[in-house]
């Protein structure tokens, strides 16, 4: 990914999405905000105990980078589901300047201009979707539960059903998240992987302590390929949130004492 800095805000962008005209995106880092202590400094969560005024200012700074109004942002309500909501201008501001009137939404999808999709992370996998031909964008939050539910494939199917997209036209970015070396899981997780995938052992490595190292990047790439996304249209992450917890929030690295990173995507 590409490391960027605009004024005080440091953020990441994808090579493949940056080449698409009429689309802006970014993935935030911990750097360039006003939050303090374990939230320092670019925390984008109102629910982890941070000062509301600090989070408000952090959203304003992200908005300035994207050159949009904060009132144009619409947020997910993540509960590790595969639910995807098609959002419109009626949803603008929800989660930042207005209360959400929906729950259990881990994916956002739109064909409307100047509506900023936003989802949030601290080890889980951000999935960015852009169909440059139909002018459709989507974001999905995929932790291990979302991966088991194949939210990436659900997003592709939703784009096809709602807007007539073709999988071969969709460009995907898999964002910074926890890598296999950092992501130890137990039998509960691996049993779910075994139940939902034909060759589950390619996604994890068993350890002597009877735990497993799970590769969420490989798992989500497999789901996307199975959904019909072309391999050359998928950009994989080269940053682990846990390995780089000095610059990126990681739940695993900090034992839950952290803020949230944000994925943002908008049609212009």
Rounded to two decimals, the pTM is: 0.99
Question: Exposure pattern of 169-206 as b/e (b: 16+ CB <10 Å)?
Answer: bbbbbbbbbbbbebbbbeeebbebbeeebeeeeebbee
How many residues can be counted in the chain?
Answer: 268
Query: How many CA atoms lie within 13 Å of 149's alpha carbon, on the beta-carbon side?
Result: 18
pLDDT at residue number 2 = 98
pLDDT at residue number 93 = 98
pLDDT at residue number 73 = 99
pLDDT at residue number 58 = 98
What is the set of domains in the chain, with CATH numbers?
2-178+230-267 (3.60.140.10)
pLDDT at residue number 198 = 96
pLDDT at residue number 255 = 97
Give 10-residue mean pLDDT values along the chain (268 residues).
Answer: 97 98 98 98 98 98 98 98 98 98 98 98 98 98 98 98 98 98 98 98 96 98 98 97 98 98 98
Q: Which two tokens stand for residue 42?
A: 């670019």
pLDDT at residue number 251 = 98
């Amino acid at each position: 990914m590409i490391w960027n800095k605009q004024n005080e805000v440091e953020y990441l962008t994808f090579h493949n999405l940056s080449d698409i005209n009429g689309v802006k995106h970014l993935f935030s880092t911990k750097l360039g905000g006003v939050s303090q202590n374990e939230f320092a400094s670019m925390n984008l969560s109102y629910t982890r105990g941070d000062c509301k005024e600090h989070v408000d200012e952090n959203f304003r700074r992200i908005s300035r980078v994207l050159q949009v109004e904060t009132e144009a942002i619409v947020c997910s309500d993540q509960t590790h589901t595969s639910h995807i909501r098609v959002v419109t201008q009626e949803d603008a501001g929800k989660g930042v300047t207005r209360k959400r009137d929906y729950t259990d939404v881990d994916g956002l999808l739109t064909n409307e201009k100047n509506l900023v999709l936003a989802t949030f992370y601290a080890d889980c996998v951000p999935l960015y979707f852009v169909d440059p031909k139909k002018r459709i964008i989507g974001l999905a939050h995929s932790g291990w539960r979302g991966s088991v539910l194949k939210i990436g494939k659900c997003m592709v199917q939703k784009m096809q059903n709602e807007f007539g997209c073709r999988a071969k036209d969709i460009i995907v970015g898999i964002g910074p998240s926890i890598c296999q070396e950092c992501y130890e899981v137990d039998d509960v997780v691996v049993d779910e992987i075994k139940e939902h995938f034909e060759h589950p052992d390619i996604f994890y490595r068993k350890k002597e302590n009877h735990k497993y190292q799970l590769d969420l990047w490989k798992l989500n790439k497999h789901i996307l390929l199975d959904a019909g996304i072309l391999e050359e249209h998928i950009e994989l992450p080269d940053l682990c949130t846990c390995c780089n917890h000095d610059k990126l929030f990681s739940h695993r690295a900090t034992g839950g004492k952290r803020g949230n990173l944000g994925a943002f995507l908008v049609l212009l």
